[in-house]
Amino acid sequence: METEKQDWYLEYEIHKNRPGLLGDVASILGMLAINIVTINGVESLNGTINRRRGMLIQTDDAKKIELLGSILEKVDNITLRKLRQPTILDLLAVRHGRYIERDAEDKKTFRFVREEIGVLVDFMAEIFKREGNQLIGIRGMPRVGKTESTVAACVSANKRWTFISSTLLRQTVRNQLTVEEMNGKQHVYLIDGIVSTMRSTERHAMLMREILRMPYTKVIEHPDIFVRETEYDIADFDYVIELRNHPDEEITYENVETGFSGFDIP
């Protein structure tokens, strides 16, 4: 019986980019019968090229990966940085040529600016493809693209999106879902944390609690307001995404206390 091939992520740093270096690395992979799926240069987090190369490789023998690591440790002019089964961040790094910015203290918080929406959509789509209970928060000021990015990621992941509450076109507050909508394996549930906790009915609150107990993917806009108004804690979120118009933009909720505000417009 043929063993199923697995993906691995290889990243190395180049100290001297001599002619033929990539060919030498490719030859080593070829001799070990390890396939190269994707290769790309990988930028550092500050946007400067630091001579790193990332590869998505594939083999049906994990022992070959161990051997590859041992060989690459001896190759002149490069330093092996990563050799592991790929994380979401690894897949996106080799696909887009850069790493996503993470909070230095809270490793589950990821930061994007509006011009990086393509990378954000790709990132969220990879999360949505995973099965099981996932709670994702997304922070951002009005009209920055939070809802649009989430819907685009659903399309990319071939998932159906179901608004439990939203202000995308007009204020949406659902009190019940259809039988098909409750079958959440192919759905991503979208909740506006302000609308659902401060501008809704008890029937909606009951539906929201039921959805949150379901073992499927949920996305909550304005997670800080949601946490403030419910029994949930920010630690309950698997991912927290921050989307800004520019890197220095401050995400604030000053107008939320005073009824309808700019946050009623996505």
Tens of pLDDT along 176-210? 998 888 887 899 999 999 999 987 889 999 999 99
pLDDT in tens, 115-154: 999 999 999 999 999 999 999 999 999 889 999 999 999 9
Confidence at residue 50, expressed as pLDDT on a 0 to 100 scale = 62
The span from the CA of 124 to the CA of 122, in Å, is 6
Helix (H/G/I), strand (E/B), else coil: 63? helix
Burial letters 23-47, b for 16+ CB under 10 A, else e: eebeeebeebebeeeeebebbeeee
> 3, 60 in Cβ contact below 8 A?
yes
Q: What is the DSSP string of 138-160?
A: EE--TTSSHHHHHHHHHHHTT-E
Name 74's Cβ contacts closer than 8 Å, sequence gap at least 6: none
pLDDT above 50 (res 87): yes
The pLDDT mean for the chain works out to: 89
**Which helix (H) or strand (E) covers residue 209, if one does?**
helix 202-213
The span from the CA of 79 to the CA of 76, in Å, is 8
Domains of the chain and any CATH numbers: 6-96 (3.30.70.260), 109-262 (3.40.50)
